[in-house]
Structure 1
Amino acid sequence: MADAAISFVLENLAQLLIRELREFFISKKEVTAKINQIQASVLLLQPQESNPPRRASDFRLSLQRETKDIIYRFENVKENFAIVVGSRRPFSSRYFKELREIYTELLEIENKIFLLEENTALEDMELLLSYIKNPSCRVIGICGMGGSGKTRLARRLCNDAQVKDQFDVVAWVHVSLDFQPRRSFENLYVQLDRNHKGPVSDMNESDLARRIYRIQQKRKCLIVLDDLWSSDAWGTLCVAFPSGKTDSKILITSRVIQVVEAAEIVAGKRYIHKLRPLTQAEGCQLFMNGLVPDFLDNEIVEEMGKEMVKCCEGLPSAILDFIDFMQIRNHTLSWMEVRRNLESYVRESQEYGTTLKSLTLSYDNLPHDLKQCFLYLGHSQEHSRIEVEKLYLLWLAEGLISVEDCGREEMLLNVAERYLEDLARRSMIEVQEEEVTTVTRFMSCQLSQQMRRLCLMKSEEQNFFRVVDFGCDTHQSQREVVWPQQLSSLVKFKYLRILEFMGISFEVRSLILEGIGKLVHLRYLSFRDCTLPELPSSIGNLKLLYVLDLRVVNTMVIPDVLWKLKKLKHLYFPLSFKTHGARKLRLDGLTDLETVTNLNMKMCNVEDLFELYNLHYIALSIPGSLEEIELIVKLMNMNSEARSLRASLEVSNFDCYTEERLAALKQLLECQSLIVLCFGGHISRLPLHDEISSNLAKIVLDGSELMEDPMPTLEKLPKLRVLVLGVDAFAGKSLSCSALGFIELRRLELLNSQYLEKWTVEEGAMLRLSILTIVNCKKLKELPKGLLSVSTLQQIRVKGMCKEFQESTSEFQHELTIIIED
């Protein structure tokens, strides 16, 4: 019995001694683990200096100072750790004492980071805090693709001291794809009413929603709906949020921007912040701070980090996945090997980590039609921008956009644009808008590298498409295509829907087109950038053709067979073409035609266009003919409920010295269908702004010899985005742009105005101007000071200007790109 008691006491004393020894003796492994743990936080603290605001706020400056202090202190601790483990005798008392001191300091740094709330994006935090303080802001949205850091930023915002002071309570609910209304309401209510007694399970959903509603009216609440996926989920939750006056606010994180926009129905006003990718400098710092100390001075690793950030395209989750992946494998792989095969290792790390899984959720949540359109993007070359208009036509030709998708009086191109915009709003693609909207609103789109991998992976899973390599090769000296034997006869591909030739010379390869008329299933046929002397007349057999692109580089002979293509929707003529025997091409019967470009009024029966009621866009040139201008004015004015025409016109050699010609020009400028006008010829004086179409988005004037300042007239056009005053367009001495003028102008060019001496811009004018070009205005001495207030200005290009003018650009050089050419 005594032995058992002694044994029990000794065992407990041993355990107590072990605990005390463990508290004193800190191992190298434990310190390394703590360093790695803190690195995951410190790497989020790097200041973003790539695009600093013009005036840094007190908040930004103080946050920068505090952030730098933490970073420098942590770097010192890591260096000290490397010295201790490298120079001290292991297991000595001094060794363990210094490890313990390092560990204690790491805990202090960890606590400071917690207090700082890991404010990684200073500008993001500053902007979101301004939304929080704004009384008119009811809903704040943080949007971005999967892995961009939405939830992390929302947590930092909620933990910020200013936010905690402003609200009585902060409640957080993670919604996700697995949305369960009951669970969400319960979570919210428990957090909002800490004094509630009894089980919440006794209340039904309606009762919970009413109680949550009342609490927000009585107290200042910040409610976070994290990872909200659908407008339907918001529609279910919104009954719990007051639509009247309240000081409470809602913070939503979502990949889908429409979800945040839907909150406006209840909240009245919402503010949306879209996260940007990390810059290369930010991504490199994130990578280097995430490594264990052994690799910090490794030049190979540092250089590889720069390449890795490009592969990850600035996506934080992808960079973190790579760090985790490499730390697990750093004993089995050399960094040289990793760098040689970097892209494959980055791809493997994303499959191993969370990035690809996170992006897959975005794909799984797509409607069926959008899934197909997304997978089709996998055809694109890696890192390439995809021409949007061409993409729409390919979707149409492949049957991914059908008539059933259209609303009343809606064109198929409009449906395609809705689809692309939906993918962009879900943060699955990046889109670039057209400078001037004609056929489409967007100019190009692009998949991120991560999204493209997802696209290819899903395409392979579903056998969506397959690339067949026929072994086309290019001779290096002559850049001559070595044509594969398998493509010697097109008749073999009788079920082909899409046939696109790019940059092919058919002067030496004309036999290839034999039998093209037998490809009766073709929907899309393109000879863009090819050399094709004559279009085969057999294309008249292609009764199902939707798209015909004849934008070749040479003058083409076109036989009069286009009228047979009754299903044709989109017709692109070459810049220069002829017909057999000077006959005009018939276009009658093409009742489905929606767009036609490069129309030559001398070569086509323009009267046929009057019967084409589905015509949406037309682009043509008129070489100085009064009759043709009157005809096109008549066409553009034939708008009705069943027809909405948009037109781009290039008028050359049309001098308005007679009243008849001035009247024709005035009628042309009044046409509401006119979107783009490039006009060459004498005008002398513009009509008043209310006599010019408010839909004009682009105006190019050459040789107009305007004596009066055109700016007071043109600046009032509400949709004008591009203005070019070309050679001798303005013959006066001064131009003046008033405040609030040119509200949509993006690009302005002043070219060869030899008499221009003074240009004034009032503060508040041209607030969206992005690109300014001034060429050979030799009497102009300086840039207007008013341009300094245009925060959107990105580039100024100057050529052939006097030295005094060039020197005046120095005030702008720290803000934007200045290009000066002699």
Structure 2
Amino acid sequence: MAVEEAVVSFVIERLGDLLINEAKFLYGVKGQVENAKIKLQCMRAFLKDADACVRNGDERVRLLVVQIRENSYALEDVIATYVFRVASNNEGVGAIRRVLKWSARIIDVYKVGSKIKEISSNIDTWTSELEKYGVQRSMDKAAETSSSYVQERKQLRQAYSYVEDNHVVGFDKDIKDLVALLTEQKDPRKHKVISVCGMGGLGKTTLARKVYQHPQVRTHFDCYAWASISQQCNTREVLEGILFAFTSPTDAQRNHIKSLSDVELGKKLHDFQKQKKCLVLLDDIWTITTWDLLKHAFPQGDTDGKILLTTRNKDVALHVDRHGFIHEPHFLSDNESWELFQKKYFCVGMDPSNSDSDDNERKKELAIEMLKKCAGLPLAIIVLAGLLSKKHTVHEWELMNRNIVRCIGQGEQQDDSKYRSVLWVLGLSYSELPCHLKPCFLYLSRYAEDAVIRVKELCLILIAEGFISLRGSCMEDVAYDCLSELVERSMIQVKDMSSTGRIKSFCIHDLMRDLCVSKARDENFLHFMDLRNKVEEPIESVSIVPTTNVRRVVIYYDNESADNDFVHMVRNIDGSLRYLSVHEGRIAFEGVLRHVCNRFLMLRVLIIDDIPDFVRTTTLPKEIGNLIHLRLFRMPNSQIKMIPSYFGNWRCLQTLRVYTEYDKIPNSMCKLEQLRHLYFYSQSTVVGIGEFLRSTKSRNLLQTLVGIRTKHLVLSDLLQLKNLKKLAIRVDGNFDSFLHNPQTLTFTRLLSLRVIAYGNDMKIDIVPLILSCPQIYKLTLDSLVVRLPQVNQFSPNLIKLRLFNLRLEDDPMPTLEKLPRLRVLVIGLYSFMGDEMVCSRGGFNRLESLQLSGLQGLKEWKVEESALSRLGYLRIEECRGLRRVPDGLRNILTLNHMVIKWMPKKFKQRIEEGGEDFYKVNHVTSRVFIDCNEGSLDVLVDYEVDALADKKRLKIYVMVSMYMCCVQENPFLRPNMRRVVQMLETPLSFSNFPMAGISLWCTLYVSLKSYHVK
């Protein structure tokens, strides 16, 4: 119930902001708003004690708390809507109309005042009721505000507990046995299927991942694929994903595979596995039916491939293969449990030397006692360690011990007690969250099972919803800190880290997600509707019939469903909906959006992530201007015909991400007052972008500006954006006029810069722009340049550098290797045209990741002694002239992962075990080879010849495949794909295609050589 406390706190803060910033629009109701705010502050004093009553099962208090939450929302809605209406009516109004509107406003004041008075009266009533039920009021708690987290938060600990694979305990023998089974030489077909069975949280996936990534396994098989099955298996997606992993297809090949029927897809995957030695890991199969839907794609008996699967149900493993091997990981012993607990606890906990020895000894006794209730389950131990890491006194540990004993005691009375005990531990970790973190955790229920969650995306949503308070810090940083604390508490696990050491994405364990979804439903926080595979899932399991007003709805839409189905599904949702996201559907959004915009006028977040379709162009209905409370609008996978003037109604909009084919930005967008992040992709130069940047009311708030072009724009327009942190521009027009004498101007806060320039072999002098960005740590250059900046011209803070299409004649390494903080370097397509590259002695002393890609002329790469001394990751891709890896690699002991892709077969053979250069990379733990048997173009042509008889069509497919590879690197090109796909769907002749366009697309990725269209 602490979510209610969070809601009340956020509403109080919002009312305070309105009273300060919008006082002129509160004439007539300001006193009532202040009075309601005071009453809410008093009410908040009861909520923590009320939460304790609810946990003890007091249903009367629970119902009261729910009413408090709903009326808090209603109070904010009423006042915010009134403010927006008054502000809109005052804009550009003549004297006569102002008088008429003033008369109408008197009526509004009466109506709004009556509503506020009614809600305030309800608050008084509930306060009396809570006191009658014995709920105590704590004035010190009332004094807390939603900013308490910001004021009290501690510096993030250096060591996180999220790196689970680095703290694996008790699996050494399991790993050894499974690796031996997978790589056995005497009778490789003895165990076709190897199953890892056990309950959730036992570490099945962790064990399988260790085995899957084991060097001995990686060198034994030709191809590998990992498929996460989960409870709602989408058969088509699973089989496509496995084939994609095996073949690493281009986008054209992907489209061809997607066009196959289910039978053809299964046969293609089946035949591929008969020709290659493949390993498939099927993670988390729940039912026998799921395997029956997949099995036709897997050959039986006469192959050397293997299937490694994880499941909670042994019957599933037996059904898949009666003669397969079933491995059941053991529960951890007391010693192993203690070892795992120590690793996790001391990874995030306080330094034990800060406590006296008596306290430490008592804590150890309590920990051992609590660990017994975890029953040796790794997940339970990890969560417990994260929970106790926040408790610093013996008294807190003793209280925790008593709670755990009670909760687990109740679970032991039920069937499957170990599973239930874990749910109690997970539930306890949720209960112990501070009130400001609970909404952050519950928001994870918006993501589908096994989803990789991007931190930046979730932070923007939390900010848009108002769950992040700003008190002396950047809201984006506060949101990041909240998610980082969830990591520290072992409630989520990090997936990827950025080059700067920040968390880039994370995932949530199945059990923890089950808890999250359950809590979100119980507290009516968010309703998750997954309508995919509804034939396999009873419709009752995905329907929503909220008992109170539902504020947030996530819909994973079925492609087969019609628009009327969507309207029917949301018809019963209350009009106070604040968050709506629709995913993976192919619905006519104009009709659906019109329904949404007419009904859900309180929406703050609207996300439409439909299936990518480069052909679709959507017209936004005029009713979208009704969403005056909208903070975040994201529609990344459909082009909209034009940016409507109604966008100017979104005065509170913070994040906008759209693609458009129209070339003008409406003047009304200048009225947006809160815009912080603008992702604006257009097919052509946007007229009016300079005027927008010069006159927008959000000029001092904009942090992200991605997708704009330099035509009709000068650098000084951008330099006015004092808080700009991320900038991605495409050079379109005269670059010199864009720079406009920038020597005396600098970006003071810009951290990330991307510059792209294509067409007409235009070279730009990038140095003046680089000099104006002294603070950036991330730089991407994708353009022909007059010269490479010197070392002292780059930002001294530069950490990540990506270079494409520079066409440098001189070796860039002597310059780049001197950059003092560089950790990630990509020298990509056509960046260097020479034939020799040298990393000199002592160079790149901080570089950790290096990628060489598409350097067709490179023949010799030398690495001198002590160069690249910290390199951990190396990728060599499509450098087909390169003869060998440098001898100096053998001295780089930190190198542990190497990927070789689209390289000649001879190159691969030289560095494979037994090859003449193997001694140079023998120490590298992971060596991965992808499509190194033939040239990439040869493989593509061979693949397409079987399916296409028309050689003209084949050549176009080759070129489109190359272009779509570029699209992955360059989102600015993405809208152009619409025209290409349309042409591919019609009878083709070369006259259909713009030849200059085709040549340009192809040169962006690889030389067409003999395949060039004459």
Q: What's the TM-score, normalizing by structure 1?
A: 0.54
Q: For 1:757 and 1:432, locate their aligned partners in 2 and report how far apart those are by CA, in whole Å.
A: 36
- 1:616 to 2:725 alignment: yes
Taking a change above 3 Å as real, the CA distance of residues 788 and 735 of structure 1, as seen in their structure-2 partners, is same
Partner of 2:311: none
More deviation, 580-589/746-755: 580-589
Taking a change above 3 Å as real, the CA distance of residues 262 and 732 of structure 1, as seen in their structure-2 partners, is farther
Taking only the aligned residue pairs, the percentage that are identical comes to 19
- 1:545 to 2:653 alignment: yes
Partner of 1:446: 507
Partner of 1:595: 704
Q: For 1:756 and 1:672, locate their aligned partners in 2 and report how far apart those are by CA, in whole Å.
A: 36
Partner of 1:63: none
Partner of 2:897: 794
- 1:809 Cα deviation after fit: 4.0
Q: For 2:172 and 2:614, locate their aligned partners in 1 and report how far apart those are by CA, in whole Å.
A: 59
2:849 to 746, 751, 755: 746
1:411 to 466, 474, 488: 474
Q: Contact 2:852–2:879 (CA<8 Å) still a contact in 1?
A: no
Q: Contact 2:384–2:425 (CA<8 Å) still a contact in 1?
A: no
- 1:256 to 2:386 alignment: yes
Taking a change above 3 Å as real, the CA distance of residues 679 and 711 of structure 1, as seen in their structure-2 partners, is farther
Partner of 1:818: 929
- 1:395 Cα deviation after fit: 0.4
Q: For 1:148 and 1:396, locate their aligned partners in 2 and report how far apart those are by CA, in whole Å.
A: 41
Q: For 2:419 and 2:740, locate their aligned partners in 1 and report how far apart those are by CA, in whole Å.
A: 65
Secondary structure, counterpart of 1:699 in structure 2 = strand
Partner of 1:772: 875
Q: For 1:636 and 1:255, locate their aligned partners in 2 and report how far apart those are by CA, in whole Å.
A: 51
Taking a change above 3 Å as real, the CA distance of residues 571 and 155 of structure 1, as seen in their structure-2 partners, is closer
- 1:416 Cα deviation after fit: 0.8
Q: For 1:635 and 1:464, locate their aligned partners in 2 and report how far apart those are by CA, in whole Å.
A: 51
Task: Give CA deviations for 1:653-710 in whole Å, capped at 9, x if unaligned.
Answer: 699999x948637736x73336213142255665246765332422314334242452
Taking a change above 3 Å as real, the CA distance of residues 517 and 603 of structure 1, as seen in their structure-2 partners, is farther
- 1:781 to 2:964 alignment: no
Q: Contact 2:839–2:867 (CA<8 Å) still a contact in 1?
A: no
Secondary structure, counterpart of 2:638 in structure 1 = coil
1:153 to 336, 343, 363: 336
Partner of 2:771: 667
Q: Contact 2:639–2:658 (CA<8 Å) still a contact in 1?
A: no
- 1:760 Cα deviation after fit: 2.3
Task: Give CA deviations for 1:546-594 in whole Å, capped at 9, x if unaligned.
Answer: 1111145x56653232211011121111153555699854452213222
Q: Contact 2:715–2:738 (CA<8 Å) still a contact in 1?
A: no
Q: Contact 2:901–2:931 (CA<8 Å) still a contact in 1?
A: yes
Root mean square deviation of aligned Cα: 5.1
Taking a change above 3 Å as real, the CA distance of residues 434 and 474 of structure 1, as seen in their structure-2 partners, is same
Q: How does 1:749-764 map to 2 (within 5 A)?
A: 749-760=852-863, 762=865
1:389 to 442, 448, 456: 456
Amino acid at match of 2:873: S
- 1:401 Cα deviation after fit: 0.7
Q: How does 1:183-332 map to 2 (within 5 A)?
A: 226=367, 255-256=385-386, 259=389
Q: Contact 2:640–2:658 (CA<8 Å) still a contact in 1?
A: no
Task: Give CA deviations for 1:717-738 in whole Å, capped at 9, x if unaligned.
Answer: 3133132143151525242254
Q: For 1:581 and 1:596, locate their aligned partners in 2 and report how far apart those are by CA, in whole Å.
A: 15
More deviation, 569-578/711-720: 711-720
Q: For 1:355 and 1:727, locate their aligned partners in 2 and report how far apart those are by CA, in whole Å.
A: 54
Q: How does 1:329-728 map to 2 (within 5 A)?
A: 349=416, 352-403=419-470, 406-407=471-472, 410-436=473-499, 441-467=502-528, 473-475=558-560, 480-481=586-587, 488-489=594-595, 490-503=597-610, 513-551=621-659, 554=661, 557-579=664-686, 584-588=691-695, 589-590=697-698, 591-604=700-713, 607-623=716-732, 625-627=734-736, 630-631=739-740, 637-639=746-748, 644-652=749-757, 661=765, 664=768, 667=771, 671-673=774-776, 675-683=778-786, 687-688=790-791, 693-708=796-811, 710-711=813-814, 713-714=816-817, 716-727=819-830
Q: What's the TM-score, normalizing by structure 2?
A: 0.45
- 1:597 Cα deviation after fit: 1.3
Q: Contact 2:468–2:478 (CA<8 Å) still a contact in 1?
A: yes
Q: For 2:606 and 2:486, locate their aligned partners in 1 and report how far apart those are by CA, in whole Å.
A: 26
Secondary structure, counterpart of 1:481 in structure 2 = coil
Aligned residues, how many?
529
Q: For 1:455 and 1:157, locate their aligned partners in 2 and report how far apart those are by CA, in whole Å.
A: 25
Q: For 1:533 and 1:677, locate their aligned partners in 2 and report how far apart those are by CA, in whole Å.
A: 29
Q: Contact 1:528–1:549 (CA<8 Å) still a contact in 2?
A: yes
Q: Contact 1:763–1:786 (CA<8 Å) still a contact in 2?
A: no
Q: For 1:420 and 1:647, locate their aligned partners in 2 and report how far apart those are by CA, in whole Å.
A: 22
Taking a change above 3 Å as real, the CA distance of residues 620 and 511 of structure 1, as seen in their structure-2 partners, is closer
Q: Contact 1:597–1:620 (CA<8 Å) still a contact in 2?
A: yes
Q: For 1:687 and 1:706, locate their aligned partners in 2 and report how far apart those are by CA, in whole Å.
A: 15
Q: For 2:762 and 2:349, locate their aligned partners in 1 and report how far apart those are by CA, in whole Å.
A: 68
Q: For 1:507 and 1:799, locate their aligned partners in 2 and report how far apart those are by CA, in whole Å.
A: 30
Taking a change above 3 Å as real, the CA distance of residues 555 and 226 of structure 1, as seen in their structure-2 partners, is farther
Greater Cα radius of gyration, structure 1 or 2? 1
- 1:456 Cα deviation after fit: 1.5
Structure 1, unaligned runs of 5 or more: 1-41, 53-119, 124-146, 160-171, 192-222, 230-251, 264-320, 330-347
Task: Give CA deviations for 1:130-161 in whole Å, capped at 9, x if unaligned.
Answer: xxxxxxxxxxxxxxxxx9969743646999xx
Q: For 1:413 and 1:190, locate their aligned partners in 2 and report how far apart those are by CA, in whole Å.
A: 40
Taking a change above 3 Å as real, the CA distance of residues 677 and 450 of structure 1, as seen in their structure-2 partners, is same
Partner of 2:948: none
Amino acid at match of 2:779: V
Taking a change above 3 Å as real, the CA distance of residues 569 and 44 of structure 1, as seen in their structure-2 partners, is closer
Taking a change above 3 Å as real, the CA distance of residues 613 and 682 of structure 1, as seen in their structure-2 partners, is closer
Q: For 1:691 and 1:484, locate their aligned partners in 2 and report how far apart those are by CA, in whole Å.
A: 47
More deviation, 453-462/706-715: 706-715
Q: How does 1:60-79 map to 2 (within 5 A)?
A: none
- 1:483 Cα deviation after fit: 6.8
- 1:376 Cα deviation after fit: 0.9
Amino acid at match of 1:423: L
Amino acid at match of 1:563: C
Taking a change above 3 Å as real, the CA distance of residues 158 and 723 of structure 1, as seen in their structure-2 partners, is closer
Q: Larger RCO: Structure 1 or Structure 2 (Cα < 8 Å, ≥ 6 residues apart)? A: 2
Q: How does 1:84-233 map to 2 (within 5 A)?
A: 152-153=335-336, 155=338, 226=367
Amino acid at match of 1:775: E
Structure 2, unaligned runs of 5 or more: 1-168, 180-206, 211-329, 371-381, 394-407, 530-542, 545-554, 563-583, 935-1014
Q: Contact 1:228–1:254 (CA<8 Å) still a contact in 2?
A: no
- 1:807 to 2:870 alignment: no
